Amino acid sequence: MEVTDILLDLVSIPSVSPMSNAPVIEYARRHLAGWKVKLYPYRDAAGVEKINLVATTKPGVAELAFVCHTDTVPHDRAWTEAVRPVIRGGKLYGRGSCDVKGFLACVLAAVAKVEAEKPLAIVLTADEEVGCVGAKFLARKKVLRAKHMVIGEPTGLRPVSAGKGYALAEIIVRGKEAHSAFPARGRSAIYDAARVVTMLERVAKKLEARKNRAFDPPFTTLNVGLIHGGTAKNIVAGECRITVEWRPVPGQRGDWTAELIREALDGLRVDATLDVKRVDPAFEPSATRNLATMMESISGRRATTVSFGTEAAHLSGLTSEVIVFGPGDMTVAHKSGEFVPVKALNECVEYLVELIQLADSG
């Protein structure tokens, strides 16, 4: 089957994170005749069944493992091509075409083209878009051991050898409600929150000073994405909530930023608490560069780094070396009109075939 036909099929199977990914797993399974398939199902917080799949050609340590998530982000209802994919002007449009069913289609097309002698593995995960839930589950269970691992994400067919981490927190600022005609009887949580936001801007500057030149931007970024406070125009605000995220560069503890914020909060003399909701580790560069070098020479593109989170940070414990790689551009993913160039799909299949052959001879 052509890679585009596989991808048209895959995009036609809706698999937005809250839905069960079972139909995608079932579809992939039909392409893996002769592989030993193990399923690792679990129920998500809403009770929906999610399935992780680990397929291998031979027992023992896999020479090369391909990892791909099966869920997608939601799509606008008005975007009718989201699950009715089309090819137009050399691009295949549809939800997940780029992130990341395109890579899955390439893997399925590539393994059908080669008779691999050495042990290969394919790992399909659930719930990547909602916090790498499936990958964390598989990492905890240590479901496989692989020498080299390629995790699919749209990287424009450039091997990626390191990535930033991700952390999310909420700062709750408490004041005292009062009638707005008598502000002195209360304390405005919004005024205090403004001080906190100004402080966060200073923390962001501090983070900027610690450079890691492998990244663009070359430091841990911080963003105040949401602020919500007060109940009415004539009430002194009693509470204000600030949502803040940061993306730590490798080599820096993910909770270092939290420590900086806490210290700074202590100095502000406002009633505020920091509630860290999530700290995902950075994707640290592997000790070896064999796989990255192989992919550099196959693709003719230099290895790079990314500022978005991937499953690599969670799965690196299962392998000696991991890279992130795939067709398409992350900047067109996660929005209406998502697409992947057909040329990139065909190139990716060629590269993966070559990589499998190299793993076989190596």
Question: Among residues 100 and 355, whose Cβ is nearest to Zn ion?
Answer: 100
- Catalytic, 71? Answer yes
Among candidate residues 71, 99, 239, 338, the one labeled active-site is 71
With contact defined as beta carbons under 8 Å apart, do 150 and 294 qualify? no
- Contacts with Zn ion, 130-159, as mask; x by CB under 5 A: -----------------------x------
Q: Two tokens at 14?
A: 């809706």
Nearest CA-CA partner of 135 in 315, 320, 324: 315
DSSP of 26-47: HHHHHT-TTSEEEEEEEE-TTS
Q: Which stretch binds Zn ion (CB under 5 A): 39-47, 93-101, 176-184, 319-327?
A: 93-101
Q: Which one of the spans 91-99, 163-171, 232-240, 271-279 is the region binding Zn ion (CB under 5 A)?
A: 91-99
Query: Residue 84: CB partners within 8 Å, gap ≥ 6?
Result: 12, 94
Q: What are phi and psi of 115, to 5 degrees?
A: -95, 95
Element (H, E) at 64: strand 62-69
Q: Which stretch binds Zn ion (CB under 5 A): 36-44, 92-100, 209-217, 286-294?
A: 92-100
Of 19 and 235, the one with the shorter C-beta distance to Zn ion is 19
At residue 268, the 3 state secondary structure works out as: helix
Torsion of CA 92, 95, 97, 99, to 10 degrees: 150
For residue 332, how many other CB atoms are within 10 A of its CB? 18
- Least distance in Å: CB of 292 to Zn ion? 20
Q: What is the number of helices (H) and of strands (E) in the chain?
A: 9, 17
Residue with Cβ nearer Zn ion (242 or 282): 282
How many other CB atoms sit within 10 Å of the CB of residue 29? 16
In the complex, what is the shortest distance from the CB of residue 340 to Zn ion, in angstroms, rounded to a whole number?
Answer: 12
Give the residue with the Cβ less far from Zn ion, 96 or 248.
96
Instruction: List all residues 6 or more positions away from 138 whose beta carbon is below 8 Å from its beta carbon.
Output: 40, 52, 54, 123, 125, 144, 315, 318
Closer residue to Zn ion (CB): 94 or 229: 94
Start-to-end CA span in the chain (Å): 28
Q: Which of residues 51-80 bind Zn ion (CB under 5 A)?
A: none
Q: Is 9 helix (H, G, I), strand (E, B) or coil?
A: helix
Residue 13: strand, helix, or coil: coil
Interface pattern 285-314 for Zn ion (x via CB under 5 A): ------------------------------
By rule CB under 5 A, what count of residues binds Zn ion? 3
The least CB distance from residue 124 to Zn ion, in Å, is 13
- Smallest distance from Zn ion to CB 339, Å: 15
Residue among 9, 63, 99, 128 flagged as catalytic? 128
For Zn ion, give the closer residue by CB, 81 or 153. Answer: 153
Number of neighbouring beta carbons within 10 Å of residue 209? 7
> 3-state SS string over 148-172?
EEEEECCECCCCEEEECCEEEEEEE
What's the min distance (Å) between Cβ of 164 and Zn ion? 15
Interaction residues for Zn ion, span 98-117 (CB under 5 A): 99-100
Q: Alpha-carbon distance 190 to 180, whole Å?
A: 13
Least distance to Zn ion from the beta carbon of 153, Å? 5
Cβ of residue 338: shortest distance to Zn ion, in angstroms? 11
Q: Pick out residues in 149-208 that bind Zn ion (CB under 5 A).
A: 153
Q: Which is nearer to Zn ion, 99 or 177 (CB)?
A: 99
Per CB under 5 A, residues contacting Zn ion are 99-100, 153
Catalytic residues: 71, 128
